[in-house]
């Protein structure tokens, strides 16, 4: 049985679907600070399987103890946390408090119950401004905002935890840019307010809910001058978690894995592909660079392929189609 913190969120919900499809039993804890509890029913509908949902905060140790007492948890996938880069610059304490404290509480209770297998959601943001591309897991680490620093600090906490107790088995997954949605259109990404990220913004422009997309910079050292990222279909990302769970079940240690496709696409590539596969127009204008953005970020996926056997199967066309399908079906 797998405990999924933040399981009603964007990546968590897709991972719960993959876990259930692969025969795992699932327990979710989520405080619904950035998600909706109808997601639980939607996961059940997609998979035709049952799961348990606990409403509450991961920093509530009494609730965690109750969950571990009422369920035989074999491993934890820890998604819960805040993730908005811009907000983290304005409200750093909110980010350090939620992301770090909840992780510490979770690890303490896991230790109490001798549950020592954890998969953690880290981010490619821990590579800061990468020196080499594609980015390997042993690239130097640094961050440019408090959100990224929480990820780096949690990676350090987990490393220290493993050093203190070699029975732990920890997989740190560094996600590149997840986009897209489950084919059913029942779950997907629905950020509050005006989106910060590229794909949710494109979707709203395509649906005439926002007027025009600002492309942040066309003078980067990239093939067409716009920023290049490693976009990965969220269902592929979710599949990566199954591989990571299989890995932590087999051995002890702490391992770090990139989850991406290994291929970089520019902002203009994304716009063009989205327009083509969905037969819609995405109005855009080139504006200044967004402060803090880097030119290019894409993964070296050799290690996750060799050690986890992880390989993506979905294309950029799938990502664009599925993101739009979710938006249309849910009137986003």
Give the DSSP letter of residue 171. E
Cα–Cα distance measured from residue 89 to residue 216, given in angstroms and rounded to the nearest whole number: 19
Structure tokens at 173: 């997954």
Helices (H) then strands (E): counts for the chain: 12, 14
- Residue 227: name its binding partner from ligand UFG, ligand NAD, none (Cβ under 5 to 8 Å by kind): ligand UFG
Least distance to ligand UFG, CB of residue 179, Å: 8
Q: What separation in angstroms does the CA of 105 have from each of 88, 101, 188, 215, 259?
A: 21, 6, 28, 40, 26
Find the residue with minimal CB distance to ligand UFG: 227
Q: How open is the CA angle 9-10-15, to the nearest 5 degrees? A: 90
Task: Yes or no: say if 123 and 150 are a contact pair by the CB < 8 Å rule.
Answer: no
Out of 29, 39, 267, 299, the only residue in the binding site for ligand UFG (CB under 6 A) is: 267
List the interface residues with ligand UFG, window 194-223 (CB under 6 A): 196-198, 201, 213-216
Q: Toward ligand NAD, which CB reaches closer, 166 or 297?
A: 297
Q: Toward ligand NAD, which CB reaches closer, 220 or 231?
A: 231
Residues in Cβ contact with 15 at an 8 Å cutoff, skipping those fewer than 6 apart? 4, 7, 77, 79, 237, 238, 241
List the interface residues with ligand NAD, window 125-184 (CB under 6 A): 175, 177-178
Out of 123, 150, 312, 325, the only residue in the binding site for ligand UFG (CB under 6 A) is: 123
Out of 19, 59, 76, 271, the only residue in the binding site for ligand NAD (CB under 6 A) is: 59
User: Could you give the 3-state DSSP secondary structure of residue 174?
Assistant: strand
Least distance to ligand NAD, CB of residue 197, Å: 7
Cα–Cα distance measured from residue 31 to residue 150, given in angstroms and rounded to the nearest whole number: 19
Contact call for residue 175 and ligand UFG (CB under 6 A)? yes
Cα–Cα distance measured from residue 186 to residue 188, given in angstroms and rounded to the nearest whole number: 7
Q: Which of 127, 147, 257, 314 is catalytic?
A: 147
Q: Toward ligand UFG, which CB reaches closer, 176 or 257?
A: 176
147 is an active site residue: yes
Contact call for residue 172 and ligand UFG (CB under 6 A)? no
Least distance to ligand NAD, CB of residue 22, Å: 19
Contact call for residue 304 and ligand NAD (CB under 6 A)? no
Contact call for residue 190 and ligand NAD (CB under 6 A)? no
Out of 252, 293, 303, 305, the only residue in the binding site for ligand UFG (CB under 6 A) is: 293
Partners of residue 170 on adjacent β-strands: 118, 254
Phi and psi torsions of 91, nearest 5°: -125, 65
Structure tokens at 125: 């943001």
Residues in Cβ contact with 53 at an 8 Å cutoff, skipping those fewer than 6 apart? 7, 8, 27, 28, 30, 37, 40
Catalytic residues: 147
Summarize as ranges the residues that interact with ligand NAD (CB under 6 A).
Answer: 5-6, 8-12, 29-35, 57-59, 79-81, 83, 98, 102, 121, 123, 175, 177-178
Summarize as ranges the residues that interact with ligand UFG (CB under 6 A).
Answer: 83, 85, 123-125, 175-177, 196-198, 201, 213-216, 227, 229, 267, 290, 293
């Amino acid at each position: 049985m797998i405990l999924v913190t933040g399981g009603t969120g964007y990546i968590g919900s897709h991972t719960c679907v993959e876990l259930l499809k692969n025969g795992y039993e699932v327990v979710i804890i989520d405080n619904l600070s950035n998600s909706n509890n109808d997601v639980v029913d939607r996961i059940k509908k997609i998979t035709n399987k049952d799961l348990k949902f606990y409403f509450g905060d991961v920093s509530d140790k009494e609730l965690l103890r109750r969950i571990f007492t009422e369920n035989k948890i074999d491993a934890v996938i820890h998604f819960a946390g805040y993730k908005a880069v811009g907000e983290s610059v304005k409200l750093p304490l909110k980010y350090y408090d939620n992301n770090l404290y909840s992780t510490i509480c979770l690890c303490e209770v896991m230790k109490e119950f001798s549950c020592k297998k954890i998969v953690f959601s880290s981010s490619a943001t821990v590579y800061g401004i990468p020196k080499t591309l594609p980015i390997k897991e042993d690239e130097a680490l640094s961050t440019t905002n408090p959100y990224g620093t929480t990820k780096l600090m949690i990676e350090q906490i987990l490393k220290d935890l493993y050093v203190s107790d070699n029975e732990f088995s920890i997989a740190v997954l560094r996600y590149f840019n997840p986009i897209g949605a489950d084919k059913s259109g029942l779950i997907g990404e629905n950020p509050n307010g005006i989106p910060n990220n590229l794909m949710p913004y494109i979707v709203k422009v395509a649906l005439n809910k926002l007027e025009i997309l600002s492309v942040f910079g066309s003078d980067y050292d990239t093939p067409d001058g716009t920023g290049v990222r490693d976009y990965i279909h969220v269902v592929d990302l979710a599949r990566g978690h199954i591989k990571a769970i299989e890995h932590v079940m087999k051995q002890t240690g702490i391992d770090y894995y990139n989850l991406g496709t290994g291929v970089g696409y520019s902002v203009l590539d994304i716009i063009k592909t989205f327009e083509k596969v969905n037969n819609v127009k995405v109005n855009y204008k080139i504006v200044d660079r967004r402060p803090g953005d880097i030119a290019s970020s894409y993964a070296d996926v050799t290690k996750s392929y060799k050690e986890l056997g992880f390989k993506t199967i979905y294309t950029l066309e799938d990502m664009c189609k599925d993101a739009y399908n979710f938006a249309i079906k849910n009137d986003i």
